[in-house]
């Protein structure tokens, strides 16, 4: 598996753990040796593994945890680090843009930073990329 595929797999696992409210999987995904940080929408920055994991425990264990889906992930590998930029679709609640940062620890890609914030609606496709002809 290439680094790009491995990072995308880790990113998918993040959204699976989030969607299924699987705290154990979320905890396993986050780095243990590398410093971590997280900025949830509307929150202040969380620094360090303990506050970050406490926040995920509260979010995943709370009654209002949003249903979330990742769309259009783009991965960028930078040696032993990587980041993914994607859209988070929250059903009727709207969409966010997220950046998920990963570092390789003991040969495994682990999350070191997550930040999500409000996003505008996607821009329409340029005229030369729009479908032509009759719509069915």
pLDDT of residue 1: 85
CA gap 21, 67 in Å, rounded: 9
One pLDDT digit (tens) per residue for the chain, 136 residues: 899 999 999 999 999 999 999 999 999 999 999 999 999 988 899 999 999 999 999 999 888 777 888 999 999 999 999 999 999 998 777 889 999 999 999 999 999 999 998 877 655 555 554 444 443 3
- CATH architecture of residue range(s) 3-120: Roll (3.10)
pLDDT of residue 63: 80
Record the tokens describing residue 121, joined without a space: 């609606």
Q: How far is CA 113 from the centre of its chain?
A: 9
pLDDT of residue 121: 65
Are 105 and 28 contacting, i.e. CB atoms less than 8 angstroms apart?
A: no
pTM score: 0.84
pLDDT of residue 131: 46
CA gap 51, 41 in Å, rounded: 16
């Amino acid at each position: 598996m290439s680094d790009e595929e491995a990072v995308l797999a880790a990113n998918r696992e993040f959204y699976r753990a989030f969607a299924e409210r699987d705290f154990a999987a979320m905890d396993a995904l986050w780095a243990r040796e590398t410093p971590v940080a997280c900025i949830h929408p509307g929150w202040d920055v969380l620094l360090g593994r303990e506050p970050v994991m406490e926040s995920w425990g509260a979010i995943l264990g709370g009654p209002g945890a949003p249903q979330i889906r990742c769309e259009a992930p783009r991965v960028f590998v930078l040696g032993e680090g990587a980041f993914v930029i994607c859209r988070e679709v929250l059903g009727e609640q709207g969409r966010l843009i997220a950046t998920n940062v990963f570092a390789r620890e003991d040969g495994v890609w682990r999350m070191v930073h997550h930040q999500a914030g409000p996003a505008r609606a996607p821009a329409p496709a340029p005229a030369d990329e729009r479908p032509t002809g009759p719509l069915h």
